[in-house]
Amino acid sequence: MTLKTAQQYEDSLRKLKFQVYLQGEKVANPVDHPIIRPSMHSVKLTYELALDPEYEDLMTATSHLTGKKINRFCHLHQSTEDLVKKVKMQRMLGQRTAACFQRCVGMDAINAVDSVTFEMDEKLGTHYHERFNQFLLKMQEEDWTVDGAMTDPKGDRGLAPHQQADPDLFVRVVEKRQDGIVVCGAKCHQTGALNSHWILIMPTLSMGEKDADYAVSFVAPADAAGIVYIYGRQSCDTRKLEGSSIDVGNKQFGGHEALMVFDHVFIPWENVFMCGEYEFSGALVERFAGYHRQSYGGCKVGVGDVLIGATALAADYNGAHKASHVKDKLIEMVHLNETLYACGIACSAEGYKTASGNYIIDLMLANVCKQNVTRFPYEIARLAQDIAGGLMVTMPSEKDLHNLEIGKYVEKYFRGVNTVPTEHRMRILRLIENLTLGTAAVGYLTESMHGAGSPQAQRIVISRQANLEQKKSLARRIAGIPAK
């Protein structure tokens, strides 16, 4: 097997024995839980479309290890064309789901770990890259969804990991054995964790010598003994329990995040890719962050396409589509969205080959991409809410629409353009609410701000990559000032 069907993927999740808690209760069956299941549908689509000839070019690639056709989410980029196709694939999936489809973090993680383990082995004589390739072979053959996990709780941000009052606020090695290591700690905001087969752990910071125990990277089965998941709340998430096809805004697709706790989890040596090599932790963090900042130039743009379309429909249904200011606001939304896409494509096209043979994006342009992502989706959402109007958040429920006593009033008084059914207007307004305020807003807005690093993280990299001295020399030459 190299390409799972959508049903095979769902069936494979049912075999996993997750320890997951949601709203204080243990969940026996995450796959069918009404709050969790829409997020599984998003991942399931990545399997379905990989087998659809229409999307084959974007959704699949040729493995550099085996020469077989594999899902692009399991692929190491072998060219700038691969990097560009990744962004195009992400935009398409964002358009199809209007939600987070959750496999990007793992794809970005394997590409970062590949080049860093290669360079570790070259310098230190370790065997991490060989171990990683053995895992990658299995990942590609089984078409696994792998969750990349980087973000630690961090505790007191003013203190290094080894200085924390509680040493488990960063994932760490607590025991080294002949057959492997034992780890404790936690990872926060883990997107799609419960829809994954494996977890790929990476350090969250550039570590120093005193933090060597925290410079650890490994893979573990998502349901390994000692891993506990605490499901994160999202705005309006309990609407999924009500059975309404209107009030949730996006009934079929969604995303999820969870706190992932490691309570003395054993990891065999063959699954360990870094253990104490703190001098390489910074490179792993920077490369993963770069790949993931590139990703946002695709996925957020695809969701933005849906939001722009929903906003244009709302204007139609409100009878405001001919107003010049509405037209201008829609143009601005498109302009902002396409600017994000341009950044994603640019950092991909300017990518280059690493020592291990895979391709990495232009780090400066990837960070510019993500810096724009921390801003533009918020303006797109503001304009969407402006055009949609206040009814988006004061509208009655679907049950009111279908109530025998009062439904006629909802039908009458919430109609816009007379030729458009009231239900259609309600559906599109709920979709805008979902994307800008509800469950999808986690993946579109908050994740745009903090996913792949908060805004200051990009500014630090941009500063490092700016090469101001070279720019000064350009100015001196043009101005006729002698070089220093």
Indicate which residues carry an active-site annotation. Answer: 100, 104, 191, 257, 292, 296, 299, 447
Contact 182, 129 (CB under 8 A): no
Tokens standing for residue 147: 């969750």
Alpha helices in 374-467 (DSSP H): 376-388, 391-394, 398-402, 407-413, 422-436, 439-441, 447-450, 455-465
Contact 169, 185 (CB under 8 A): yes
Question: How far, in Å, CA of 202 to CA of 274, rounded?
Answer: 9
* C-alpha atoms less than 13 angstroms from C-alpha of 334 in its C-beta half-sphere: 9
Nearest to 109 by CA among 349, 344, 288: 288
Tokens standing for residue 394: 């004061």
Question: How far, in Å, CA of 157 to CA of 180, rounded?
Answer: 30
Alpha helices in 259-323 (DSSP H): 281-318
Nearest to 171 by CA among 155, 192, 157: 155
Find all residues with CB under 8 Å of 138, minimum gap 6, and list them: 144
Beta strands in 51-163 (DSSP E): 60-62, 69-71, 146-149
Question: How far, in Å, CA of 34 to CA of 5, rounded?
Answer: 22
How many residues does the structure list for the chain?
A: 484
What is the residue whose two structure tokens read 């085996």?
66
Q: Is 80 annotated as a binding residue?
A: no
What is the residue whose two structure tokens read 């043009």?
478
* C-alpha atoms less than 13 angstroms from C-alpha of 110 in its C-beta half-sphere: 27
Question: How far, in Å, CA of 342 to CA of 326, rounded?
Answer: 24
Which sign does the torsion angle of CA 103, 105, 107, 109 carry?
A: negative
| Annotated binding residues for FAD | 191
